[in-house]
A and B are shown apart, each in its own frame.
Chain A
C-alpha cells in the first residue's frame, strides 16, 4: 500500500474573497467559509478568526484541531464523514502543511482547553506553531450537548475539507514542495522480506466512554466496537477522528491521529531495525469486563501476527490507567515485550502516585509530563473565543483568571500539552 502526502507549505494566513493558496499564504474566503458552516441549522452563528504563531493571541476553549486535507485523486476526506466510505491510506493526498482548523466553543465546559500563540504557554502546545483558522460557533437554543458536539466535530472536518478542496481546485498541486511517501506491503510479504527483524505492533488506546468521550474509526463509534487491525497508512490518511471532550492536555485531536508520531517513527525504522506489523486502535471501556476484553483482543491480534514487541499509548488519565496496566500485563505474561507511553497526574508538587493503577508487569514506561504542573501565562492582547471559560476547564478554577488577564493554571488546561502519543518534548524527571 502506497500513500503520498503532497505538502503545500503554509506560513501565513489572510482573509480574501475566495479561498486559495499562493506563495505559502493561505487565503480564506471568510464569507463563503462562514456561510458553509451556517448551512447547518444546528448553528445560529459562525465566526472565523485567524491566529498566527508569535501573535499575542489566546484561543479558548478549544475542542478539536484538524489539518486541511483532501484527496488529489479522489473525493473528500475522512471516509464516512466527508468522503465516500472506502479504505484510506492509498493514493495521493493534498496537505496544507502548517495550517490547522481549530474548533472553539464551550460544549462540556470543563473539558476543552486553550492555546497561546506566544509567551510561556506557547511551547506546551504544537498548535502555537500552526497557522490557525479558528471556527467559533453558537448552537441554536435547545441543542443537546451531544448534538452540539456532533455538529461542531463535523463542522471542523467540513471546514478543513472545504479549504483544502478550494486550494486543490485552484491549482495547489503546482505549489507542492514536498511529497512524503509511506509504503509497506501486507504483513505476509513484509515478514518474508525481513525474517530476522523483531516484529513490532502498535496499540493506540482511545477514549471510548460515551457521554462525549468518543473516538471514531471510519466514522464508526469505537465504543461499542472491538479492537481491530489497521495498516499504518490508514491512520495517517484520515481513518481516525476525535470526538472527545476530555481534559485538554492528553486528548488526541484529529490532527494528532493524522500525524501520529509513534506510527511515523515505527515506519522510519521498518525494514531497518524492526518489522512494523500495524496499528491496533483499541478501546478504553467504562466497564471492567470491557477493559479486560479489549486487552485480551489486543493480545490476540498481536499473537496471530507473531509480534515480539508492542508499544502502547494511552489517551486520557484516571480509569484508562487500568487499561494501560492490563495491556502491559497481558502482553508481558504472554512473552511479548511492552513499552507504554502515558502522562502522569502526580499532583502540583509532583509527589503523588502518578497513575491511578499500577502493575509489576509495566516495566517500561515513557512519561509525557505531569498534567498537574502549574504554569503562569500572561494576559494576551486578543482572545478568540470565551476567556471566562478558564474557570470551568480541567486544570483551571474561578481564581485562575486574574483581573489583569493573566492566568495561573495546571498544564492540563493547555491543548495537547501532555499528548500521550508522544508529540511533545516534555517529560518528568525522577528525583
Chain B
C-alpha cells in the first residue's frame, strides 16, 4: 500500500511497523520501527506518561522521516 500511494499519487509515505524485515521485503521506502506488534507506537508497560512520551517520539520521528529526502530504502532508527 505504501508503495502504491507513492507511485500512483506521488505522496510520500512513512510506515511505522515493528517487523522491519517485512517492510524491507515489501519495498517500503521510509521505515520507522515500531515497539511491538500489539502496540507499535507505544509501550503500555512504561505507564501512561512513559507510553505517551514514546508515542510522541515515534510520531515526531515519522514527521521528520516524511520531510527527509531519500534515494533508497531508509530506516529511521533515531
Contacts and interface: CB of A to CB of B under 8 A. Distances in A.
Contacts of A209: 37-38
Interface stretch (A56-64, A318-326, A413-421): A318-326
A431 interface: no
Contact of A287 (B18, B21, B22): B18
A357 B36 CA distance: 17
Given A357-B25, A358-B25, A288 B38 contact: no
B21 A357 contact: yes
In terms of DSSP, what is the predominant structure of the interface of chain B? mixed
A325 B37 contact: no
Interface residues of B, number: 12
A363 interface: no
A289 to B, nearest CB: 10
A286 B22 CA distance: 13
A357 B38 contact: no
Nearest 5 interchain pairs by C-beta: A286-B37, A286-B36, A287-B36, A357-B22, A322-B19
Contacts, number: 38
Nearest to A290: B36
Contact of B19 (A211, A319, A358): A319
A286 B35 CA distance: 9
Contacts of B36: 286-287
A210 interface: yes
Interface in B15-43: 18-22, 25-26, 33, 35-38
Interface of B: 18-22, 25-26, 33, 35-38
Contacts of A286: 18, 36-38
Which of B19, B22, B25 has the most chain A CB atoms closer than 10 A to its own CB? B19
A288 B19 contact: yes
Which of A210, A287, A326 has the most chain B CB atoms closer than 10 A to its own CB? A287
A322 B35 contact: no
A356 B21 CA distance: 9
Interface residues of A, number: 16
Nearest to A287: B36
A96 B37 CA distance: 40
Given A288-B33, A357-B25, A358-B25, A210 B38 contact: yes
B38 A319 contact: no
Given A288-B19, A291-B19, A357-B19, A319 B25 contact: no
Contacts of B18: 286-288, 319
A319 B22 contact: yes
Contacts of A322: 19, 21-22
A87 B33 CA distance: 41
B25 A287 contact: no
Contacts of B38: 209-211, 286
13 contacts: A209-B37, A210-B38, A286-B18, A287-B18, A287-B37, A288-B18, A288-B19, A288-B33, A319-B19, A319-B22, A356-B19, A357-B21, A359-B21
Interface in A72-98: none
B28 to A, nearest CB: 12
Contacts of A357: 19, 21-22, 25
Contacts of B21: 288, 322, 325-326, 357, 359
A359 B19 CA distance: 14
Nearest to A329: B21
A357 B25 CA distance: 6
Contacts of B35: 287
Given A287-B37, A356-B26, A359-B21, 18 more contacts: A209-B38, A286-B36, A287-B18, A287-B35, A287-B36, A288-B18, A288-B21, A288-B33, A319-B18, A319-B19, A321-B22, A322-B21, A322-B22, A356-B19, A356-B25, A357-B19, A357-B25, A358-B25
